[in-house]
């Protein structure tokens, strides 16, 4: 058995692992432990030629029912490590937000408290420029270290040279985010802990808990709040049934599991139509839909 085959999972059921509990299968998902795995895998031109999908913690992704038939990548192993250096932290793309936040608290590093309440991974955060409570991942980053599958090589780019914007991070074709280099600022652990708890309190107060969702379905339009526009545009029917919005937060789903991706997409377009008809505003999806 080749190294490549050992790392291959066929027909990976995204619905089982995604936060939405919906979505098609990934026909070939390669688990990548380290840089050698990556270089070996992408030395194969057939694999390189197919379309690429990197998955993180699947908290913002829905794969269409037909499934994804290109090259799927899941980083594990070396990419779950955090290394503290004199002037920065090197954080693997597979590190989960909540884990990084708790790790920073233990080390007296402040600035990562907001990640305590986001269920993604650092790779997903850097791709999305994730954020909450007036902070975004770009504010904390020094640089992004990524693998270019066409050049079969690793590169590093400073954040100042990347045009991150609201929910638009490192969204580059055929590139895999491997690590983020992050700033370090120290503070008292009690300050850090209080902030983490405060963010958790706000989150619990304003958003549904333990539901099948993807966080915010839509981005906030400029100077507007998506949930308010939705709430004022829809009727009660949108809060009932197997695919439904949360009464607590109208930009969140509270779906039943194993709903087809097609029906979720249809539901999304119905919401977009209602908001467009009433406010002439086009809601843009934050959720990534993959085909």
**Which chain residues interact with ligand FAD by CB under 6 A?**
19, 53-61, 75, 93, 118-121, 123-125, 127-128, 130-132, 176-177, 213-215, 288
Q: Which is nearer to ligand FAD, 57 or 272 (CB)?
A: 57
Shortest Å distance, C-beta 274 to ligand FAD: 23
Closer of 106 and 134 to ligand FAD (Cβ): 134
Contacts of 230 (CB under 8 A, 6+ apart): 218, 245, 250, 251, 271, 274, 275, 283
Shortest distance in whole angstroms from residue 277 CB to ligand FAD = 27
The smaller minimum CB distance to ligand FAD, of residues 203 and 276, is found at 203
- Name the residue nearer to ligand FAD (CB basis): 108 or 152: 152
Minimum gap (Å) between residue 82 Cβ and ligand FAD: 15
- Output the CA–CA distances (angstroms, integers) from residue 237 to 25, 174, 214, 273, 275, in the order listed: 30, 41, 20, 15, 15
Tell me if residue 25 falls in helix, strand or coil.
strand
Q: What angle do helix axes 97-107 and 189-206 make, rounded to 10 degrees?
A: 150
CA dist 168 → 100, 171, 287 (Å): 21, 7, 12
Active-site annotation, residues: 167, 216, 286
Of 54 and 230, CB closest to ligand FAD: 54
Task: Tell me the H-state helices in 90-221.
Answer: 97-107, 122-128, 137-140, 189-206
Measured from the CB of residue 256, what is the shortest distance to ligand FAD in angstroms? 16
Q: Which residue has the tokens 């007296």?
A: 108
Radius of gyration of the chain (CA): 19
Least distance from ligand FAD to the Cβ atom of residue 11, Å: 18
């Amino acid at each position: 058995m080749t190294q490549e085959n050992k790392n291959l999972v066929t027909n990976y059921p995204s619905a089982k692992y995604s936060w939405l509990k919906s979505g098609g299968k990934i026909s070939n998902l390669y688990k990548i432990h380290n840089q050698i795995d990556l270089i070996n895998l992408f030395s194969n031109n057939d694999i390189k030629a197919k379309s690429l999908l990197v998955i993180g913690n699947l908290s913002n992704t829905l794969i269409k029912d037909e499934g994804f038939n290109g090259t799927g990548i899941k980083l594990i192993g070396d990419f779950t490590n955090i290394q503290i250096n004199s002037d920065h932290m090197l954080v693997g793309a597979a590190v989960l937000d909540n884990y990084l936040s708790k790790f920073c608290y233990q080390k007296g590093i402040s600035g990562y408290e907001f990640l305590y309440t986001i269920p993604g991974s650092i790779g997903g955060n850097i791709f999305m420029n994730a954020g909450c409570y007036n902070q975004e991942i770009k504010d904390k980053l020094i640089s992004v270290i990524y693998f270019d599958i066409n050049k079969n090589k690793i590169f590093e780019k400073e954040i100042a040279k990347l045009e991150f914007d609201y929910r638009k991070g490192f969204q580059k074709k055929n590139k895999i985010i491997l690590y983020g280099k992050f700033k370090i600022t120290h503070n008292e652990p009690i300050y850090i802990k209080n902030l983490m708890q405060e963010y958790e309190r706000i989150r619990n107060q304003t958003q549904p808990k333990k539901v099948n969702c993807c966080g915010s379905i839509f981005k906030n339009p400029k100077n507007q709040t998506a949930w308010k526009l939705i709430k004022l545009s829809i009727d009660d029917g949108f809060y009932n049934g197997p695919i439904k919005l949360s009464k607590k937060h109208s930009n969140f789903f509270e779906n039943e599991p194993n709903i087809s991706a097609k029906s979720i997409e249809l539901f999304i377009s119905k919401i977009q139509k209602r908001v467009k008809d009433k406010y002439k505003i086009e809601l843009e999806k934050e959720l990534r839909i993959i085909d």
